[in-house]
Structure 1
Amino acid sequence: MTIHEHLTTFHGLPVVGFPAEQPPTGPVAWRLAIEPWDGDETFADLWDKFISTVDTSTVTAIVVGQWGEPGDDTRSNVVIDLVLAAKDRLPALTGIFLGDQVMEENEISWIEQSDITPLLTNLPQLTELGVRGGDGLALKPVQHSALEVLHIQTGGLPRGVVSAVSRSELPALRDLRLWLGVDEYGGDWQPEDLRPLLDGGKFTSLRALGLQNSDRQDEICELVADSAIVRQVETLDLSMGILTDKGARHLLPLTHLKNLDLHHHFLSDEMSEELLAALVPAGVTVNVDDVQQADRYEGHPEPYFYTAISE
C-alpha cells in the first residue's frame, strides 16, 4: 500500500485547492501546497496570497501539502509559524492536516516535519489535527480541552511522540490513530510509552483507537487486549501491520466492540475464520480483508513480513 491520492475530504468538508478555479459555494477545507520542482513561489508567498484574498474569518479547516522542496530541510515549522502568526485572523479554524503529500511527491518517511506542540498550545479551539510524516516530528505532553480527533500517519513514529500523546491531557479526544511504523524509519516505541494511554482513566471520551502499521502488531494486540482502555473503545483499528495468528488470538474475547479493523495482515485462513466466528455473532464488524503472503528470497531461509507503509 502507498498513498497515491491527496485528501478529498477533511474535517467533514470537501477539500478545495487554493487558488480555486471557481469560488466554492459553501464551506470547504482549503488545501495549500506549492510546486516544489518548477515553481518559484514559496509557501510564505502562497500563504500571504491566501490570507489576503479569502475571508479567513470563515475558514474552519486547512490542509497543507508541500511547503518546500523534498530534501532541502524545509520543515513544517515554516507552516506552523505562519498559521500561528495569523491566528487572530482565523477565529473559526478548528481543523488542520499537516503533510498531505503522496508518494509521487515525497515518501512518507521523508516528509520533513517538526515540533507540532505549538499548534495545540496556541490554538485552543482546534478539534481535529492530522499529521503525515515522522522525520523530525516532535511533540511534548499537552493539555487541550477541545481536541476530538488526532491522527498521526508515519512509516516510523518516534517514541517521544508516542509517549507525549499517551501522557497528554485530552479529555475530549474520541478518535486517536497512530501509525507506529517500523524501527528502520524511527518507530522505536516501547510498551511503557503506551502505558498511560492503555491504562485508561485519562482519555474518558475515547471511542475509536488505532495503533496501526507496526512491525510489532502481535505485541500491540496483546497489550491492547489486556488493557483498561479497550473496554470503553467501540472501534479498534489494528490494521496495516505485521499481524499473525499469535497476535490475533488475543482479540477473540473482544466481543463488546462494534468494529475491528485488521486489514493488511498475515493471518491463516483458520485464524480469520475463528475471529469471524467469535466476534461477528456478537455484533462486531470485522475487517480481515487484504491478506498478505510473506516474501521469500533466495539464500534467506526466514520469510519476510512487511507493514503496509514504511519508507
Structure 2
Amino acid sequence: MDNEQLKVSGGEAFLQVNYNDEFTMTQLIERLALRPEAASLSRVRVGPWEECYEKDSASTVEALCGHARSFPRLSSLYLGDIEAEQCEISWINQCDISPLLKAFPLLEVLEVRGGNGLRISQARHAKLKTLRFETGGLPGAVVQDVSRGEFPNLEHLEFWLGTSEYGGTVELDDLHPLLNGERFPKLRFLGLMNWELANSLPGALKGCRILGQLRTLDLSMGTMTDQGGEELLKVPQLQSLQVLNLDDNYLSEQMVERLRSTLGACVQPGKQDVADEYEYNGVKYSDVYCSVAE
C-alpha cells in the first residue's frame, strides 16, 4: 500500500483501490481511521473500491459508518470520486447511502457518483447544505427519496438524470413534488442536468412553486433543442433567477438570442452542441445526446 491509495493532506483524505491491489476499501478506511490526522479531517473522497463495476458500495458505506467516531469533524464526503479510465460512470455500483446521513451529523456536503442500485431511503439531515448525484442514468426512486426528505438547511441540490439506456428511470411525475413542494426552504441552486428528456422540463416549470426561491436553475448537459427553448419562453418566472444555465444543450443561436431578449441577463447559454443529422431511406433524422451517459 503506498501514497497513491491513501493520501492525506490539508484536512482532506483520498482513498482508492487500484486494479490488482491485494487489499480492500474497507481495509483502507480502517487504516485511515487509525491515523492521527483522522480526527481533524473535514473532507473524505472515496475513489474506486475493489471491482466497483461489479461490487456495490455497501461494504464501503458500512466501513465509513463503523469508523465514524474516528472522523468527528467530517463535513464533506464524496462517494465515488472515480475517473472514467478507472470505471465508466454508468458502471459504478452504489447502494442505499442513508446510513451515512445518520453516522455523520456534521455533514454539509454529500456527493455521489454512479447510479446503479442507488437509494437514499432515509433522506434526512439537519445540517446538509449540498447534495449532488452524478450519474449517466439516475433511478427515479432517488428523486422520490429526496423529494420526501427532510433537509432544512439544503441550499444546493443537483441531479444528473441521464438516459434510460444506462439505468435512468426518472419521469416528470417524479419531479413534480420537488418543483411544487416547500420541503427545502433554503434551496437556492437546483440542477436538473444531463437529461435525455430535457425538452419536457419547461412544461414542468410553468407555475412551479420552487422558482420563486431559486437563484440558479441548472439545465446544462442535456438534450434541449429549440422545441424546449420555445417552451422556456413561456415561463416568465424564470426572469427572477440570477442564473439559468443552459450550457451544453442543442439550442440554435437564434433561440439563444430570443431567450436572452425575453428572459434577460439570467440566461447563460455557454457552448451549444449541434445535433447529428442524417438521412435513411429518404427520411431525415436528428439525434441529440445528454453529455454524460456511459
Same fold (TM over 0.5): yes
Residue 256, structure 1, aligned to residue 240, structure 2: yes
Whether the 8 Å contact between 1:113 and 1:137 is mirrored in structure 2 is yes
Instruction: Tell me: CA distance 1:135–1:158, structure 2 relative to 1, closer, same or farther (3 Å).
Output: same
The CA distance in 1 between the partners of 2:208 and 2:284, in whole Å, is 36
Residue 17 of structure 2: aligned partner: 34
The CA distance in 2 between the partners of 1:70 and 1:89, in whole Å, is 25
Residue 80 of structure 1: aligned partner: 61
Residue 204 of structure 2: aligned partner: 223
The CA distance in 2 between the partners of 1:301 and 1:137, in whole Å, is 38
The CA distance in 1 between the partners of 2:90 and 2:6, in whole Å, is 28
Unaligned runs of 5+ in 2: none
TM alignment of 1:99-178, pairs within 5 A: 99-178=80-159
Report the CA distance between 1:298 and its aligned residue: 5.2
Whether the 8 Å contact between 2:155 and 2:188 is mirrored in structure 1 is yes
Residue 208 of structure 1: aligned partner: 189
Report the CA distance between 1:144 and its aligned residue: 1.6
The CA distance in 1 between the partners of 2:271 and 2:25, in whole Å, is 38
Report the CA distance between 1:141 and its aligned residue: 4.3
The CA distance in 2 between the partners of 1:17 and 1:251, in whole Å, is 47
The CA distance in 1 between the partners of 2:4 and 2:241, in whole Å, is 38
Match of 2:271 among 282, 290, 297: 290
Report the CA distance between 1:87 and its aligned residue: 0.9
Q: Deviations over 1:32-59 (max 9, x none)?
A: 1111x23222212222221222421111
The CA distance in 2 between the partners of 1:54 and 1:42, in whole Å, is 21
TM-score (norm 2): 0.92
Q: RMSD of aligned C-alpha atoms? A: 1.8
The CA distance in 2 between the partners of 1:212 and 1:308, in whole Å, is 9
Report the CA distance between 1:111 and its aligned residue: 0.5
Whether the 8 Å contact between 2:16 and 2:46 is mirrored in structure 1 is yes
Unaligned runs of 5+ in 1: 1-15
Whether the 8 Å contact between 1:141 and 1:167 is mirrored in structure 2 is no
The CA distance in 2 between the partners of 1:151 and 1:158, in whole Å, is 14
Residue 34 of structure 2: aligned partner: 52
Report the CA distance between 1:183 and its aligned residue: 1.2
TM alignment of 1:227-246, pairs within 5 A: 227-246=208-227
Whether the 8 Å contact between 2:57 and 2:95 is mirrored in structure 1 is yes
SS at match of 1:222: helix
Q: Deviations over 1:97-152 (max 9, x none)?
A: 01111111111010011111111133222111000001111221422211110000
Whether the 8 Å contact between 2:161 and 2:194 is mirrored in structure 1 is yes
Report the CA distance between 1:174 and its aligned residue: 0.4
Whether the 8 Å contact between 2:138 and 2:170 is mirrored in structure 1 is yes
Identity %: 36
Whether the 8 Å contact between 1:221 and 1:238 is mirrored in structure 2 is no
Worse overlay, 109-118 or 223-232: 223-232
The CA distance in 2 between the partners of 1:231 and 1:58, in whole Å, is 39
The CA distance in 2 between the partners of 1:298 and 1:42, in whole Å, is 51
Residue 279, structure 1, aligned to residue 260, structure 2: no
**Number of residues of Structure 1 aligned to a counterpart in Structure 2:** 287
Report the CA distance between 1:248 and its aligned residue: 2.1
Report the CA distance between 1:19 and its aligned residue: 3.7
Residue 11 of structure 1: aligned partner: none
The CA distance in 2 between the partners of 1:204 and 1:118, in whole Å, is 24
The CA distance in 2 between the partners of 1:249 and 1:191, in whole Å, is 18
